[in-house]
Amino acid sequence: MGSIHVSERVRRIKPSPSTSAADRANQLRREGRSIVNLVVGEPDFDTPAPIREAAARAMDAGATRYTTLAGTPELRQAIADKLARENGVAFEPSEIVVTNGAKSAIYAAFAATLDEGDEVIVPAPYWVSYPDAALACDGVPVPVACPEAQGFKLAPAQLEAAITPRTRWLVLNSPSNPTGATYSADEYRALAKVLARHPHVMVMTDDIYEHIRFANGVAPHLLAAAPELRDRTLAINGVSKTYAMTGWRIGWAAGPRELIRALDTLLSQAAGNACSVSQAAATAALNGDQSFVAESVATYRARRDRTAAGLNAIPGLSCRVPEGAFYLYVNCAGLIGRTTPDGKTLGSDGEVVLYLLERAGVAVVAGEAYGLSPYFRLSIATSQDNLDDGVARIAAAAADLR
């Protein structure tokens, strides 16, 4: 084993904290512990039957071979139609590349554009993979703390202060994982005014939770609010969250043709085309009946309301009610400094999370993983019974603190 060399790019990153937390919860469950796992950001619904049936038809028709690397013409046209219909932005199929999940699109975009020392502005709290993906591609993540008092959203003055000559990307995720924060069209336009002064900065929009949004009306897109950014914005999305298709691994990137060509070149050597059968299923999802989306969002909304109310009733905890996505980002400052029944003083949100796991059998993820403490994230993409059980256990564990 001494002859194995691990590259610096791998040694500078860490495993996904949410995956590690889920693995720990599953290990405890295998050991016989009763665990309420509120870690995984994965819809608990089955993929809708019409989408599964479209996949079966594709297999029966022989669609089991390589596709064009950028994706089938049918899927890229469906994505272009969706962007025009739902987001009010126009892309040609040639400006779209289909990837093995949205995470692959994000990583490939960094790999295709970052040189050593290039900076990526990441508003915090952030999805755990943004900084490490930048590091793995020789970039420098630049977290910008966006406190709860400003809705966990990036302010224009913060963006202005963070930009340097080495800034390559600004990443915007709306609705956000982990907070559910959602930018309005006016907020997008205010950020665009800053970006107008810095034409070297590209923008990545991670729109994966766009349909899981609890306010009435259409979710604004950056490019609809600020079309002048069209030539330097890459819009990332996929079918995983909206259509309960996490295992199908279909994402995409839509952007300037030059950048899409670069992604196509990189992916031709790094990944190849996305699964042909999954592409057929994704085409059916985008072109088909959308009633599942509204039904699932209504379920998430009910879970959000009940679970947030339960958490807010626990002394020492507070939870801002999110505007979208399927997470609650819980402020646990009131538990820090208190003492467990074993005599240990809780000194961080990481220690609070470990206490909840060991004492109550509730698995959540510490806010330190998302770049803003003291919080923990829990997923509402599970049954209301599980959520009620989790809240009751958290309440009992909090009551045991001195």
What does the pLDDT look like over 371-381, one tens digit per residue?
999 999 999 99
- pLDDT score, position 2: 67
pLDDT of residue 185: 97
Domain shared by 217 and 337, yes or no: no
Query: Which pLDDT score, from 0 to 100, does residue 311 have?
Result: 98
Of 287, 313, 347, the domain-final residue: 287
pLDDT attached to residue 330: 98
* Global confidence as pTM: 0.94
Percent of the chain whose predicted confidence (pLDDT) is above 90: 90
What DSSP string runs through 104-163?
HHHHHHHHHHPPTT-EEEEEES--THHHHHHHHTT-EEEEEE--GGGTT---HHHHHHH-
Out of 287, 319, 351, pick the residue that ends a domain.
287
Query: Averaged over 62-72, what is the pLDDT?
Result: 97
> Is the pLDDT reported for residue 18 higher than 80?
no
Is 374 found in the same domain as 233? no
Distance CA 91, CA 13 (A): 34
Residue 96 clears pLDDT 70, i.e. is over it: yes
Q: Is residue 1 part of a domain?
A: no
Same domain for 83 and 123, yes or no, is yes
Q: Is 191 inside any structural domain?
A: yes
Question: Are residues 42 and 55 both part of a single domain?
Answer: no
pLDDT of residue 10: 86
pLDDT at position 22 over 90: no
* Residues 64, 131 share a domain: yes
Proportion of the chain above pLDDT 70, given as a percent? 99
Q: Which CATH number do you get for residue 28?
A: 3.90.1150.10
**Within a domain: 3:** no
Q: Would you place residue 23 in the very low, low, confident or very high pLDDT band (cuts 50, 70, 90)? A: confident
Tell me, yes or no, whether 147 and 181 share the same domain: yes
Is the sign of the CA dihedral 61, 64, 67, 69 positive or negative? positive
97-106 pLDDT, tens digit each: 999 999 999 9
The answer to whether residues 321 and 371 belong to one domain is yes
pLDDT over 60 (residue 1): no
Interval 320-346: pLDDT, tens = 999 999 999 999 999 999 999 999 999
| Cβ atoms < 10 Å from Cβ of 143 | 18
CATH number of the domain enclosing 90? 3.40.640.10
Render pLDDT for 106-123 as a digit per residue (tens, 0 to 9). 999 999 999 999 999 999
Q: What pLDDT shows up at residue 30?
A: 84
pLDDT band at 63 (very low <50, low <70, confident <90, very high): very high
Tell me how many domains the chain contains: 2
Q: Considering 241, 263, 287, which residue would you say is the last residue of a domain?
A: 287
- Residue 55: pLDDT band (50, 70, 90) is very high
Confidence band, pLDDT 50/70/90 cuts, at residue 82: very high
The stretch 391-398 carries a mean pLDDT of 98
Q: Report yes or no: 43 and 246 within 8 Å, Cβ to Cβ.
A: yes
Q: Are residue 263 and residue 317 in the same domain, yes or no?
A: no
Please tell me whether residues 220 and 344 are part of one structural domain.
no
* In contact, 375 and 349? CB cutoff 8 Å: yes
| Residue 225 placed within a domain | yes
Handedness of CA 91, 95, 99, 101 (dihedral sign): negative
- The pLDDT, as a whole number, for residue 33 is 86
Q: Is residue 324 part of a domain?
A: yes
Whether 200 is covered by a domain: the verdict is yes
Instruction: Check pLDDT > 80 for residue 21.
Output: no
Domain membership of residue 251 (yes or no) is yes
Please compute the mean of the pLDDT values over residues 4-23 and round it to a whole number: 81
Which range of residues forms the domain containing residue 318? 8-46+292-399
d(CA 207, CA 388): 29
* pLDDT greater at residue 155 or residue 26: 155
Pair 42, 54 in one domain: no
